[in-house]
Amino acid sequence: MGEFFEHFFQVKSRKEVEDVITSSLRSLDTEEVPLDFLLGRVVGKTVIAPEPLPPFSRSTVDGFAVISEDTFGASEGFPALLKVVGSVSMGALPSFRIQRGEACDIPTGGALPEGADAVVMVEHTESPDPSLVEVFRPVSPLENVVRAGEDVDKGSVVLTRGQRIRPQELGLLSALGIKEVTVVKIPRVGIVSTGNEIVDPSESPRPGQIRDINRFTLKGLVERSGAQAVFVGLVPDEEAALREACQKGLEACDLLLLSGGSSVGTRDLTLKVLETFEDFELLVHGVAVSPGKPTIIARVGEKMIFGLPGHPVSTWIIAYLFVSRAIQALTGAYENPSVRWDQAIVDQNVPSAQGREDFVRAKVQGRGRAKTVTPVFSKSSVISSLVEANALIRVPLESEGVYKGEEVDILMLL
Amino acid sequence: MGEFFEHFFQVKSRKEVEDVITSSLRSLDTEEVPLDFLLGRVVGKTVIAPEPLPPFSRSTVDGFAVISEDTFGASEGFPALLKVVGSVSMGALPSFRIQRGEACDIPTGGALPEGADAVVMVEHTESPDPSLVEVFRPVSPLENVVRAGEDVDKGSVVLTRGQRIRPQELGLLSALGIKEVTVVKIPRVGIVSTGNEIVDPSESPRPGQIRDINRFTLKGLVERSGAQAVFVGLVPDEEAALREACQKGLEACDLLLLSGGSSVGTRDLTLKVLETFEDFELLVHGVAVSPGKPTIIARVGEKMIFGLPGHPVSTWIIAYLFVSRAIQALTGAYENPSVRWDQAIVDQNVPSAQGREDFVRAKVQGRGRAKTVTPVFSKSSVISSLVEANALIRVPLESEGVYKGEEVDILMLL
């Protein structure tokens, strides 16, 4: 059995692995998607404003549209007296024009009539009769007004490539009358579960067997990362079966995840099978990350394949760090929606070995500078520890651990 | 027009409004949902482990299953010599039993044979021939083993009511053979847009009209908060039309959002219409939050209705703070998935008025203690400012502003 360990692991650091992923993948093709389905999508082509926003100058208060100069010097003691020549209705352009000495009443959001350049808030006025208004405070030009194009100029950039669409972007698109946006296609991520001991969760495991776990954690993470999970199948540790599943997955998907059995034998099998594909290239064989060291990343043509470690916790952490990064690269998104780094004060010592970057399951409490984090020590095979944890403490590669009271990097488990 | 302002605003603080929302709503009914569709759902009933996890004691390494006592005192110079009596296959229970002086080889994840109580890593052994193994390091009882039930005991609590299901919970459920979970129904949130000046985004606005914005920002926020958005309709500022839309929305939905026109007239109309419903109760009329003061929260029977301010930015901030809270209350979730508070150092002075809690659009940079936040000053009607911002700075109720260098609360705009 010793020969398994003679296998040469040219272990790469997290940063190196991230660079390999980013440089090996390019973003998928784009498609036109209507406004109703854009939430969470990644912009594939710069969006330009087809018209100004607002399309006309609007009042931001209820009050009286005026020529600002007519109010200069107005005060409680010496109000400016203006003639009310009309009333602006919502949803219509006023048909009249404001001349010197005139005003008109205007609701919030109403279109500013020609001639007027400011609005006096109703609180700063009094109307002795409907045809007159007394103004008690001066307004400056454009006060209480949003100018046409002040929000967005016609022709200006509204959204840029790589931006992820949040609710607020939907609002802006709607305001500008943009009915669809060119976005990057949703990556399809294939999942193949392997291992003689693994059974489909719908079946009752016989003694010595366990149910498939990784399929579901991976599916969840893939969906959180903005991609679509495709379950390709559960296959035993047999070359022909694994090759067929890989073939199928590579044809149907943009990225393939093999959540291998946990034994060295399975890992060797994964590599053996992948090597039979034309255009196979081994990109990463072992990562300096714990748990998760025996990770394989390869490429068959343009498609990337992850050979994930078997332990559910290792698989999860590696997927969190690297699969989400691959999905990000496939969408060309600026940010990785499933990975959120933060910092916190660790409240006990966390030992580690040099030469690997440790990710220790932990619980975060508090916020801002008072944020503290407590490690949840547990075997890597104990999946309930991931349910208990809400963060991972990062112990850097070059360090022998982190010390109580130190500020550490944490990865939030969303 | 002055009489609009005689309307009495019994303005409530954010905390008071949150309490009103929480105490006025209870969580919806539950339903059984299969594993494949559980991501993001809120647990409605405690989930108990039907069996232990793992179901049998497993090795966590590749190596040799032994009786730990046989290895005590073993070293490089004086290895323990054990007889190899078999080999554990993945997915099967070993048929043999380990006796004193015996060992068997076992892969990671393999079932520990009867008699054995630990596993020696293959790296710490050598096999002079297939029937013998030399062990160079002692192992203690249970070393490199996960005991049956060590991860989860049979009968223990796996998930509790109010917990939101993340990818890692899916894995644990699968491991335990739990095929469906009782979760709280997804709240249906109706959206009614009102305002004479508002047109459907599919139409071309005439001069003086603008396209509906709030419908889309609200839809996005509702979906982000784990609810389903139902667009009820766009209605003019007319009593009959608004009442009909409210009636329809109240029948079809669990929560109703009226994104009113921005004028005082519309707000008064909203209240007038709501008052015609039997079991109407006004809960909040004005909030000490800026922007967003003229917010109405009411109840008709068991259903809550928000009369949101008209400005898209105010609407968005109020929905962010309070509608997401109402959705949380309807699901009984521990946490509000769309609201994430943090803290950062503000890099310039932000003035404010006492007696209201200000939420100032801002941009956050850096992380941990180095996190800084810069206000994006802009009129509340400028929706592009929300697209530019990634956070809101909170200026407390009792404060006249925050000062450069101060640590402030921020609400992240996800």
Contact A214 B1 (CB under 8 A): no
Amino acid identity of A11? V
pLDDT at A4: 41
Contact B264 A211 (CB under 8 A): no
CATH level 3 topology of B340-412: Beta-clip (2.40.340)
pLDDT at B261: 62
pLDDT at A7: 45
Query: Which of the four CATH numbers 3.60.21.10, 3.90.105.10, 3.30.1490.20, 3.90.1150.10 does domain A32-49+160-184 have?
Result: 3.90.105.10
**Nearest-by-CA chain B residue for A56:** B208
The CATH number that domain B31-52+160-184 falls under is 3.90.105.10
In degrees rounded to 5, what are phi and psi of residue B260? -75, 165
pLDDT above 50: residue A2: no
Annotate A103-162 with three-state secondary structure.
EEEECCCCECCECCCEEEEHHHEECCCCCEEEECCCCCCCCCEECCCCCECCCCEEECCC
Give this complex's ipTM: 0.89
Q: In a 10 Å sphere around its CB, with 0-12 CB exposed, 13-18 middle and 19+ buried, how is residue B47 labelled? A: buried
pLDDT at B354: 80
How far apart are the C-alpha atoms of A211 and A204, rounded to whole Å?
8
Distance of residue B414 Cα from the nearest chain A Cα, in angstroms:
7
How far apart are the C-alpha atoms of A360 and A379, rounded to whole Å?
10
Contact A60 B380 (CB under 8 A): yes
Contact A179 B201 (CB under 8 A): yes
Residue B331 corresponds to which tokens in the numbers above?
A: 């699901």
Contacts of B227 (CB under 8 A, 6+ apart): B186, B187, B188, B189, B255, B327, B330, B331
Q: What size, in residues, is chain B?
A: 414
At A227, is the secondary structure helix, strand, or coil? coil
Contacts of A342 in chain B (CB under 8 A): 367-368
**Tens of each residue's pLDDT in chain B, 414 residues:** 334 443 445 799 999 999 999 999 999 999 999 999 999 999 999 999 999 999 999 998 899 999 999 999 999 999 999 999 999 998 888 999 999 999 999 988 899 999 999 999 999 999 989 999 999 999 999 999 999 999 999 999 999 999 999 999 999 999 999 999 999 999 999 999 998 889 998 888 988 898 999 999 999 999 999 999 999 999 998 999 999 999 999 999 999 999 976 556 777 889 999 999 999 999 999 999 998 888 999 999 999 999 998 788 899 999 999 999 999 999 999 999 888 899 999 999 999 888 899 999 999 998 777 899 999 987 767 888 888 999 999 999 888 899 999 999 999 987
Residue A259 corresponds to which tokens in the numbers above?
A: 């959540």
pLDDT at B106: 94
pLDDT at B64: 97
At B320, is the secondary structure helix, strand, or coil? helix
In degrees rounded to 5, what are phi and psi of residue A268? -65, -35
Distance of residue B36 Cα from the nearest chain A Cα, in angstroms:
8
Contact A168 B387 (CB under 8 A): yes
Say which of B91, B219, B221 has its CB closest to residue A208: B91
End-to-end CA distance of chain B: 40
Q: Which of A119, A89, A92 is nearest to A103 (CA)?
A: A119
pLDDT at A213: 92
Say which of A60, A312, A414 has its CB closest to residue B166: A414
Burial B136-168 (b: 16+ CB within 10 A, else e): bbbbeeebbbbebbbbbeeeeebbebbbbbbbb
Measured between alpha carbons, how far is residue A88 from residues A58, A62, A85, A106 in Å? Answer: 11, 11, 10, 5
pLDDT above 50: residue A3: no
Query: Which of the four CATH numbers 3.40.980.10, 3.40.50.10890, 3.40.50.300, 3.65.10.10 does domain A2-29+186-331 have?
Result: 3.40.980.10
Say which of A56, A208, A215 has its CB closest to residue B56: A208
pLDDT above 90: residue A368: no
CB atoms under 10 Å from CB of B351, counted, come to 12
Distance of residue B208 Cα from the nearest chain A Cα, in angstroms:
4
- Find how far residue A208's CA is from the centre of its chain: 40
Say which of A210, A369, A384 has its CB closest to residue B172: A384
What are the beta bridge partners of residue A119? Answer: A65
Residues B283, B301 contacting (CB under 8 angstroms): no
Say which of B170, B207, B211 has its CB closest to residue A93: B207
**Nearest-by-CA chain A residue for B58:** A208
Q: What average pLDDT does the segment A82-97 reach?
A: 92
How far apart are the C-alpha atoms of B106 and B64, rounded to whole Å?
6
Q: What average pLDDT does the segment A383-412 reach?
A: 92
How far apart are the C-alpha atoms of B25 and B325, rounded to whole Å?
10
pLDDT at B6: 38
Q: Which of B74, B72, B68, B99 is nearest to B86 (CA)?
A: B99
Residue of A189, A194, A216 to mutate for B, most B C-beta atoms under 10 A: A216
Distance of residue B72 Cα from the nearest chain A Cα, in angstroms:
22
Contacts of B376 in chain A (CB under 8 A): none
pLDDT at B1: 35
Look at strands B188-194 and B228-235 and give their pairing. parallel
pLDDT at A355: 84
Q: What average pLDDT does the segment A384-402 reach?
A: 91
Say which of A172, A224, A387 has its CB closest to residue B383: A172
The CATH number that domain B58-146 falls under is 2.170.190.11
> What is the number of alpha carbons within 13 Å of residue A161 lying toward its C-beta?
14
Distance of residue B125 Cα from the nearest chain A Cα, in angstroms:
8
Contact A195 B90 (CB under 8 A): yes
Distance of residue B13 Cα from the nearest chain A Cα, in angstroms:
22
Task: Return the number of CB contacts < 8 Å for A and B.
Answer: 323
In degrees rounded to 5, what are phi and psi of residue A68? -55, -35
**Nearest-by-CA chain A residue for B408:** A368
pLDDT at B263: 59
How far apart are the C-alpha atoms of A87 and B330, rounded to whole Å?
44
Tell me the domain boundaries of chain A. 2-29+186-331, 32-49+160-184, 58-146, 340-412
In degrees rounded to 5, what are phi and psi of residue A8? -80, 120
DSSP string, B26-44: ----EEEEEGGG-TTPBB-
How far apart are the C-alpha atoms of B252 and B241, rounded to whole Å?
17
Contacts of A90 in chain B (CB under 8 A): 195-197, 208, 237, 261, 263
End-to-end CA distance of chain A: 40
Mean pLDDT of all residues in chain A? 92
